[in-house]
Amino acid sequence: MADKLPNIKTVNEYNEMLGIETLNPLVSVIDLSQAKRMRHMRHTFSFYTVYLKDEKNCDLIYGRRYYDYQKGSVICLAPGQVIGTEDTGEDFQPQGWALCFDPELIRGTSLGKTINDYSFFSYEVNEALHLSEAERNIFIECLMLIKQELSHSIDRMSKKIISNNIELLLNYCLRFYERQFITRENANHDVLIRLEKLLYEYFSSGKALTSGIPTVKYCAVELCLSPNYFGDLVKKETGRTAQEYIRSYAVEVSKEKILDPHKSISQVAFDMGFQYPQHFTRIFKKIVGQTPVEYRSTHISTLN
């Protein structure tokens, strides 16, 4: 059995590993160039971490994949995610910045209520955020606001100010990702083309009858994307959620089958991967404006 990966449980423990002073046990802003030299290792955290990687050509394993980072790449990690590189036996000097904050820090704050909305915490490494120089400057300015507050004596406003500044940084990341989705329009369009091909092959093969309607996770994995990134990309490109897009595709395919007089509506529903015909009817009417029976009746009478 594979050895269990080491887990860094607290922000203070991570600071000690890096030789960095702990100003607040729940949050830390780290200039990695000031950290001590380290050995490579794969590990997990029990807290949130946002990295700005300033090394060039830094091979990093995230989960089970390698990713070649370029200078100015940002990756956001939720607690429990695997990060790091295999130990080569050599020491290295990390570069860039890291923001670490414990879930306890944001509990009861506005950020605590919305942290799950920052879907990029579950993106894969090949979906990292790549900053322009201007964006990098803004990113570091946000870190400096947090760092400045950490040097202030802890008082009743400390938690709120720090969490608000972290929220500001994460909102900038959302904005920068919006820009990245737009500037990578051709790549995004290619994903939609591959999605169309994937769905066509799925329904044409009859797989839906045995495996059900394809899920967002299934499509994302087949396209080598994380479910969150895939969902965000589809939403940005089409204005619909990934689930809505998949269901709409299924409904379009079902129209031709509905016009086959030898097939019952229930059989069409099962062919398209719906477990219950009533569910298929409800989805069909929501998208088309008619029930499958009404659609069949209208079009057959038109053909006649």
What is the DSSP track for 167-200? HHHHHHHHHHHHHHHHHTHHHHHHHHHHHHHHHH
Task: Give the model's confidence band at 70: pLDDT under 50 very low, under 70 low, under 90 confident, else very high.
Answer: low
CB 216 within 8 A of CB 242: yes
Write down the pLDDT at residue 154. 84
Q: Is 247 helix (H, G, I), strand (E, B) or coil?
A: helix
Residue 198 CA: distances (Å) to CA of 32, 145, 297: 43, 46, 31
Return d(Cα 272, Cα 288) in angstroms, integer.
16
Residue 228 CA: distances (Å) to CA of 109, 133, 235: 24, 26, 11
CB 67 within 8 A of CB 73: no
Mean pLDDT of the residues in the chain? 87
Task: Give the model's confidence band at 55: pLDDT under 50 very low, under 70 low, under 90 confident, else very high.
Answer: low
pLDDT tens string 249-277: 999 999 999 998 889 999 999 999 999 99
Task: Give the model's confidence band at 3: pLDDT under 50 very low, under 70 low, under 90 confident, else very high.
Answer: low
